[in-house]
Chain A
Amino acid sequence: MKNIKVLDGNHAAAIGAILSKPDVVAAYPITPQTPLVQHFSQYVADGVMDSTIVEPESEHSAMSVLTGASLAGARTFTATSSQGLALMYEPYFRASTMRLPIVMNIVNREMISPQSVWGGPQDSLTVRDAGWIQIYVEDNQEILDMTIQAFKIAENNDVLLPINICYDGFYLSHMTEGVEVPLQEEVNAFLPPYKPTHVKLDPETPMAVDPLTPGNYLQYYRELHMAAMDNAKRVIKEVNDEFAKKFGRDYFGLVEPYRMEDAEYVLVTLGSLTGSARIAVDLAREKGVKCGLIKIRSLRPFPVDEVNEFLKNAKAIGVIDRNVSFGWHTGIVYQEIKSAISSLDPIPTVPFIGGLGGEDLTTNLMVEALDSVIKAGENKQLENRAHWLINRKGR
Chain B
Amino acid sequence: MSIAEKMASYEDMVGPGITACLGCNVELSMRTALQILGPNTIVAVPPGCMGGVQSVGWADKTGMKIPVFFPLLDNTASMLTGIKKYYERIGRDVNAVAFAGDGASLDAGFQALSGAAERGDNIIYICYDNEGYMNTGFQRSSSTSLGSWTSTTPVGTKSHGKTSHKKDMPLIMAAHGIPYMATASPAYMPDLIKKIEKAKNVKNGLAYIHIYNSCATGWGYESEKSIDIVRKGVQSRFMPIYEFENGKYKLNIDVKNPISLKDYLYSMKKYKHVSEEQIAQLQEYVDEKWDNLKKLCDTSE
Interface string of A1-41 (1 = CB under 8 A from B): 00000000000000000000001101000000000000000
Q: Is the CB of B57 within 8 A of A71?
A: no
- B88 in contact (CB, < 8 A): yes
Those of B271-299 within 8 Å (CB) of chain A: none
- A152 in contact (CB, < 8 A): no
Those of B57-81 within 8 Å (CB) of chain A: 57-72, 74-75, 78-81
Q: Which of B63, B64, B83, B84 has the most CB of A within 10 A?
A: B83
Select A211's contact among B42, B57, B65, beta carbons within 8 Å: B57
- A94 in contact (CB, < 8 A): yes
Number of B residues whose C-beta is below 8 Å from A? 45
Those of B74-131 within 8 Å (CB) of chain A: 74-75, 78-89, 94, 111-112, 114-115, 118-119, 121
Bound form: Cα–Cα A26–B57 in Å: 29
- Measured CB to CB, the closest approach of chain A to B69, in angstroms, equals 4
Bound form: Cα–Cα A132–B56 in Å: 26
Interface string of A44-67 (1 = CB under 8 A from B): 000000001011111011001111
Q: Which of B61, B64, B69 has the most CB of A within 10 A?
A: B69
- Measured CB to CB, the closest approach of chain B to A251, in angstroms, equals 31
Q: Is the CB of A201 within 8 A of B115?
A: no
Bound form: Cα–Cα A213–B57 in Å: 9
- A175 in contact (CB, < 8 A): no
- Chain B residues, Cβ within 8 Å of A213: 59
A56-B78, A206-B64 known; A212 and B58 CB under 8 Å? yes
- B152 in contact (CB, < 8 A): no
- B41 in contact (CB, < 8 A): yes
Q: Is the CB of A71 within 8 A of B69?
A: yes
- Chain A residues, Cβ within 8 Å of B252: none
Q: Is the CB of B79 within 8 A of A209?
A: no
- A367 in contact (CB, < 8 A): no
For B62, the closest partner residue in chain A by CB is A208
Q: Is the CB of B64 within 8 A of A208?
A: yes
Bound form: Cα–Cα A58–B81 in Å: 14
Q: Which of A54, A201, A205 has the most CB of B within 10 A?
A: A201
A61-B115, A203-B41 known; A211 and B83 CB under 8 Å? no
Q: Is the CB of A54 within 8 A of B81?
A: yes
Bound form: Cα–Cα A275–B106 in Å: 50
- B39 in contact (CB, < 8 A): yes
- Chain A residues, Cβ within 8 Å of B42: 72, 201-203
- B183 in contact (CB, < 8 A): no
- A353 in contact (CB, < 8 A): no
- Chain B residues, Cβ within 8 Å of A209: 56, 67-70
- Measured CB to CB, the closest approach of chain A to B38, in angstroms, equals 9
Interface string of A206-219 (1 = CB under 8 A from B): 11111111100100
Bound form: Cα–Cα A58–B75 in Å: 11
Q: Is the CB of B58 within 8 A of A211?
A: yes
- Interface size, A (range): 35 or more
Q: Is the CB of A58 within 8 A of B64?
A: no
- Measured CB to CB, the closest approach of chain A to B18, in angstroms, equals 11
Q: Is the CB of A211 within 8 A of B54?
A: yes
For B39, the closest partner residue in chain A by CB is A203
- A73 in contact (CB, < 8 A): yes
- A70 in contact (CB, < 8 A): yes
Interface SS, B side? mixed
- A242 in contact (CB, < 8 A): no
A64-B112, A68-B79, A68-B80 known; A212 and B57 CB under 8 Å? yes
- Measured CB to CB, the closest approach of chain A to B135, in angstroms, equals 12
For B95, the closest partner residue in chain A by CB is A203
Bound form: Cα–Cα A26–B75 in Å: 14
Bound form: Cα–Cα A206–B40 in Å: 10
- Chain A residues, Cβ within 8 Å of B81: 54, 56, 61, 64-65, 68
Q: Is the CB of B82 within 8 A of A60?
A: no
A24-B85, A57-B114, A73-B86 known; A211 and B60 CB under 8 Å? yes
Q: Is the CB of B79 within 8 A of A67?
A: yes
Q: Which of B62, B81, B114 has the most CB of A within 10 A?
A: B81
- Measured CB to CB, the closest approach of chain B to A89, in angstroms, equals 11
Q: Is the CB of A208 within 8 A of B78?
A: no
Bound form: Cα–Cα A26–B121 in Å: 13
Bound form: Cα–Cα A206–B118 in Å: 30
Q: Is the CB of A90 within 8 A of B86?
A: no
- A91 in contact (CB, < 8 A): yes
- Chain A residues, Cβ within 8 Å of B118: 57
For A208, the closest partner residue in chain B by CB is B62
Q: Which of A66, A70, A207, A208 has the most CB of B within 10 A?
A: A208
- A74 in contact (CB, < 8 A): yes
Bound form: Cα–Cα A389–B105 in Å: 49
- Chain A residues, Cβ within 8 Å of B75: 60-61, 64, 67, 90-91
- Chain A residues, Cβ within 8 Å of B121: 54
Q: Is the CB of B64 within 8 A of A65?
A: no
Bound form: Cα–Cα A71–B118 in Å: 23
Select B59's contact among A91, A206, A214, beta carbons within 8 Å: A214
- Measured CB to CB, the closest approach of chain A to B45, in angstroms, equals 10
A58-B111, A209-B70 known; A72 and B64 CB under 8 Å? no
30 contacts between A and B (CB under 8 A): A23-B86, A23-B89, A56-B81, A56-B115, A57-B112, A58-B111, A60-B74, A60-B75, A61-B81, A61-B115, A64-B72, A64-B79, A64-B82, A65-B81, A65-B85, A66-B82, A67-B79, A68-B78, A68-B84, A69-B82, A69-B83, A70-B82, A71-B83, A74-B89, A202-B67, A207-B67, A208-B68, A209-B56, A210-B69, A211-B58
Binding site for A on B (CB under 8 A): 39-42, 51, 54, 56-72, 74-75, 78-89, 94, 111-112, 114-115, 118-119, 121
Binding site for B on A (CB under 8 A): 23-24, 26, 52, 54-58, 60-61, 64-74, 76, 90-91, 94, 201-203, 205-214, 217
Q: Please give 19 more A-B residue pairs, beta carbons under 8 A apart, in addition to A57-B111, A68-B82.
A: A24-B82, A24-B85, A24-B86, A54-B85, A55-B119, A57-B118, A64-B112, A65-B82, A65-B85, A69-B82, A72-B83, A74-B89, A201-B42, A201-B67, A201-B83, A202-B42, A203-B41, A209-B69, A212-B54
